[in-house]
Amino acid sequence: MDNQLDITPERDEDFDILVLGIGNLLWADEGFGIRVVEEMHRRYRFPDPVRLMDGGTQGLYLVQYVKACRRLLVFDAIDYGEPPGTMKLVRDEEVPRFMGVKKMSLHQTGFQEVISAAELLGWEPEAMALIGVQAEELEDWGGSLRKGTKARIPQAIEEGLKVLAEWGVQAQEREEPPATGLLRFDLDIAGYEAGRTAILESL
Amino acid sequence: MSITTPNGFNLDNSGRRVVVDPVTRIEGHLRIEVNVDEDNVIRNAVSTGTIWRGLELILRGRDPRDAWAFVQRICGVCTGTHALTSVRAVEDALGIDIPENANSIRNIMQLCLYVHDHIVHFYHLHALDWVDVVSALNADPRATSALAQSISSWPLSSPGYFRDLQTRLRKFVESGQLGPFKNGYWGHPAYKLPPEANLMAVAHYLEALDFQKDLVKIHAVYGGKNPHPNWLVGGVPCAINLDGTGAVGAVNMERLNLVSSIIDRTIAFTEQVYLPDLIAIGGFYKDWLHGGGLSSKNLLSYGDIPDRANDYSPANLMLPRGAIIDGKLTEIQDVDLTDPEQVQEFVGHSWYKYADESKGLHPWEGVTEPHYQLGPKAVGTKTDIKAVDEGAKYSWLKAPRWRGHAMEVGPLARYVIGYAQGNPEFKEPVDKLLRALDLPLEALFSTLGRTAARGLECEWAAQKMRYFQDKLIANLKAGDLHTANVGKWEPSTWARDVKGVGFTEAPRGALGHWIHIQNTKIANYQCVVPTTWNGSPRDLQGNIGAFEASLLDTPMHDPQQPLEILRTIHSFDPCLACSTHVMSPDGETTIVTVR
């Protein structure tokens, strides 16, 4: 039983650290955050207080998970007007502000609101961090990450592990990938990209 | 110029043009342009979806058994409903029956989504169109407590509770981070609630936010996880073992009891918080009965919540199925989603191309070929539109029609159809609510009516969760533990070329997925989503869509602060992500341009 994934009925609020990928998998680089968490889970095992989550574009529906954690690490595609592929780490009160600076995608206002709604409910996080990458392409409906964006995944994971280490958590490298990934049903990056190639060839 | 549309609305586009963009508080992009006369009354309305999508571009060639996982990602709000619609479409195409337990569990999940979506819509997306959060700071906590206790027995109602809440709210507002409240037009004269009612509503805003965590546990129990619960063609992906112990694995009695207790709390919340709030807030707005639009004329519901498994006939659907045309409540027409003459999509005023645009296409024959061009009277450029030309193509939404008619879908459509059919489950709560507010039946056809129907439906859905949970447990105890039919799981058992249609009533209205499977892969997949019905542009005959019709004749206090437009459009619970791409990407606050 892989206990790091999502929220199951048995394990809905018993975590300390939430590692959350947000965005829409179907909009090219918008899927960056989720793809990072997917790969992180494929390569590493984490101790029990850590929960990895594919938050998708759930917006306000994520508030209870955010509220349940003490430390929040978010991965997302961001627009800070930098060259595509630029990565940036922001922390604590910078996080919500950062996500509201320039909204380019459908879910970001949503997530800024999630943080303030959680705070309105009394959430007082000990720490927050956002690792974002400057997206290159968001206009390709059904497409996957652009090459340059995809190439940032290992670096984003490394940054994320450093943050987690600061928070006292050591990831353990897996010997082989887990039987069940974060994403299934052909939404995993390999299945998603293979299907896309087939579609484009059929057109 | 003043004209009358074939569907009976007077339009005059000679006055000042006001553009509101974007209109939705949640995902998606919707732009509304209106013309107001010299008294700031809306005389022309134009609804533009500023985003496009073609699902066939992501689903063609994929395994039909995975389609639910993809459509679940279209939108952050309708996830489960799209998934359910998809598995039904595939089961229809392949002739797969599902076990009785799977039907009960799917209904519980769908009804849970109704409750969740309606509560979040009312308290977190729509209430701010009626509730002035900043005014709540002026409320007297003691008077707020007296008000709360006069309308409900809900225990969280002491003066101390409201005082604490007000302190928190003040701290929040004074910190300068209005957060979820930053988009309001606080102080606008169209807000009618006294400070105490505003404070009570803010308290329930927070309670509702907190209550979500219980609701999603139901999805986690039956869908195995949350967010993005699992679905399965042929049934549901959860095994059941009543005698199982411990916390891991199959759904056991302990889990079933957890769901039952959440359902009890859901019923209590809807009965003791949501409905009393609705009546209290409605009472202050009963003179504001604008926004009816198409609702007194043309309404459509596909129906949903099959009582017994695999029977999708109207008699077995607990949410009504039918169409009302020209306001004839005594003639409910049959709806058949496979009939090529009934549901059709037109693109005469949409940024798509058909070989012959005078004709509509049934979704099985659906084509999504973008064709972006502005009409001759449009102002601005393709990348920066100041005003669209509604005489030409002007929206990324297609125009769905039922037998050629523009239709309104959603909770109000379902309630009016159920009422007209004389079904006491819908008629009695409506009559009771109207009596409580001392309003005639015609008052239903309004923005407030739409909002009220959603609240009544939330309570209905909570009660029906209880019904299906009891039915499920009784069936399990009788020894039937089946949750999935895998007889046709292997593609080798499928016919070579088949079509199917799956339908649900999403919380915001009728939702259909039409699938064509060839050689075990998806050949075409078309979704017609509720916001495409409601947000529809004009057709070539000049019939206007539901959003457009709903805004006509509404007086605005100040076109620079278009609260009245937001209130009415939000009452449809629009969700444009389903219909979607970013054309004007900047600005998260509502931009109003007056010219």
pLDDT digits (tens, 9 = 90+) for A151-198: 999 999 999 999 999 999 999 999 999 888 899 999 999 999 988 877
In this prediction, residue B298 carries a pLDDT of 98
Contacts A96 to B, Cβ<8 Å: 177
Is pLDDT above 70 for A15?
A: yes
Q: Of B79, B179, B585, which is closest to A113 when you measure between CB atoms?
A: B179
Å between A24 CA and nearest CA of chain B: 7
User: Tokens 């900047």 — which residue?
Assistant: B586
Distance CA B586, CA B384 (A): 11
**Are B179 and A141 in contact (CB < 8 Å)?**
no
Confidence of residue B23 (pLDDT cuts 50, 70, 90): low
Q: For residue B258, what are the CA distances in angstroms to A177, B20, B216?
A: 34, 45, 12
The one-letter code for the residue type at B70 is F
Class of domain A17-202 as given by CATH: alpha beta
Q: Using alpha carbons, select from B337, B339, B298, B297 the residue that is nearest to residue B317.
A: B337
**Which class for B279: exposed (0-12), middle (13-18), buried (19 or more C-beta within 10 A)?**
middle
User: Tokens 């689903």 — which residue?
Assistant: B59
Is pLDDT above 60 for B229?
A: yes
In this prediction, residue B431 carries a pLDDT of 98
Contact between B533 and B412 under an 8 Å Cβ cutoff? The reply is no
- Helix (H) or strand (E) holding B19, with range, is strand B16-21
**Are B76 and A61 in contact (CB < 8 Å)?**
yes
In this prediction, residue A201 carries a pLDDT of 75
| Span B113-153, pLDDT tens digits | 999 999 988 998 888 889 998 899 999 999 999 999 999 99
Contacts A141 to B, Cβ<8 Å: 52-54, 57-58, 581
Class of domain B2-129+207-594 as given by CATH: mainly alpha
Is pLDDT above 50 for B341?
A: yes
Mean pLDDT of B399-421: 98
Mean pLDDT of B423-450: 97
Mean pLDDT of B357-362: 96
In this prediction, residue B88 carries a pLDDT of 98
CB atoms within 10 A of CB B149: 13
Q: Of A8, A62, A120, which is closest to B206 when you measure between CB atoms?
A: A120
Share above pLDDT 90 across residues of chain B, in percent, rounded to a whole number: 72
In this prediction, residue B507 carries a pLDDT of 95
In this prediction, residue B328 carries a pLDDT of 97
Chain B contact present for A7, CB below 8 A: yes
Give the number of C-alpha atoms closer than 13 A to the C-alpha of residue A25, restricted to the C-beta side: 30
Is pLDDT above 50 for B498?
A: yes
Mean pLDDT of A53-78: 89
Domain boundaries along the sequence of chain B:
2-129+207-594
Can you read off the two tokens belonging to residue A11?
Answer: 């394990």
Chain A contact present for B375, CB below 8 A: no
Start-to-end CA span in chain B (Å): 17
Give the number of C-alpha atoms closer than 13 A to the C-alpha of residue B205, restricted to the C-beta side: 28
| Span A120-163, pLDDT tens digits | 888 999 999 999 998 887 777 788 999 999 999 999 999 999 99
Find the range with the poorest average confidence among A196-200, B4-8, B331-335, B407-411. Answer: A196-200
In this prediction, residue B51 carries a pLDDT of 65
**Are A58 and B227 in contact (CB < 8 Å)?**
yes
In this prediction, residue B237 carries a pLDDT of 92
In this prediction, residue B582 carries a pLDDT of 24
Distance CA B536, CA A181 (A): 40
Contacts A121 to B, Cβ<8 Å: 206, 209-210
Three-state DSSP class for residue B497:
strand
| Span A66-81, pLDDT tens digits | 999 999 999 998 877 7
Å between A7 CA and nearest CA of chain B: 5
Q: Which residue has the higher pLDDT, B298 or A30?
A: B298
The one-letter code for the residue type at B293 is G
In this prediction, residue A189 carries a pLDDT of 93
Mean pLDDT of A93-122: 69
Q: Using alpha carbons, select from A102, A145, A131, A48 the residue that is nearest to residue B588.
A: A102
In this prediction, residue A79 carries a pLDDT of 74
Residues of B245-265 as b/e, b for ≥16 C-beta within 10 angstroms?
Answer: eeeeeebbbebbebbeebbee
Q: Using alpha carbons, select from B238, B241, B270 the residue that is nearest to residue B112.
A: B270
In this prediction, residue B26 carries a pLDDT of 39
Chain B contact present for A107, CB below 8 A: yes
Judge if the upstream peptide bond of residue B227 is cis by omega within 30 degrees of 0: yes
- Residues whose CB is less than 8 angstroms from the CB of residue B355 and which lie 6 or more positions away in sequence, other chains included: none
Q: Of B26, B177, B582, which is closest to A59 when you measure between CB atoms?
A: B26
Contacts A57 to B, Cβ<8 Å: 27, 73, 75-76, 577
Can you read off the two tokens belonging to residue A69?
Answer: 């954690």
Find the range with the poorest average confidence among A7-16, B190-199, B288-297, B458-467. Answer: A7-16
Contact between B120 and B208 under an 8 Å Cβ cutoff? The reply is yes
Domain boundaries along the sequence of chain A:
17-202
Confidence of residue B247 (pLDDT cuts 50, 70, 90): low
Is pLDDT above 60 for A23?
A: yes
| Span B364-395, pLDDT tens digits | 998 888 898 999 999 888 888 888 999 999 99
Q: Where are the alpha helices (DSSP H) in B335-446?
A: 411-420, 424-437
Is pLDDT above 70 for B253?
A: yes
In this prediction, residue B130 carries a pLDDT of 92
Q: Of A24, A63, A141, which is closest to B212 when you measure between CB atoms?
A: A63
Is pLDDT above 60 for B584?
A: no
Contact between B9 and B583 under an 8 Å Cβ cutoff? The reply is no
Mean pLDDT of A80-90: 88
CB contacts under 8 A, B 79-108 vs A, are: 79
Q: Which residue of A has its CA nearest to B251?
A: A9
Mean pLDDT of B177-184: 66
Mean pLDDT of B12-19: 87
Confidence of residue B178 (pLDDT cuts 50, 70, 90): low
Q: Using alpha carbons, select from B208, B223, B184 the residue that is nearest to residue B68.
A: B223
Q: For residue B278, what are the CA distances in angstroms to B9, B102, B263, B454?
A: 30, 34, 21, 10
Q: Using alpha carbons, select from B212, B228, B224, B306 the residue that is nearest to residue B262.
A: B212
Which range is most confident: A15-19, B384-388, B548-552? B548-552
Chain A contact present for B213, CB below 8 A: yes
Average pLDDT over all residues of chain B: 90
Is pLDDT above 90 for B319?
A: yes
Chain A contact present for B225, CB below 8 A: yes
Predicted-complex ipTM score: 0.90
Chain A contact present for B244, CB below 8 A: no
Can you read off the two tokens belonging to residue B492?
Answer: 């080798």
Contacts B124 to A, Cβ<8 Å: 60, 117
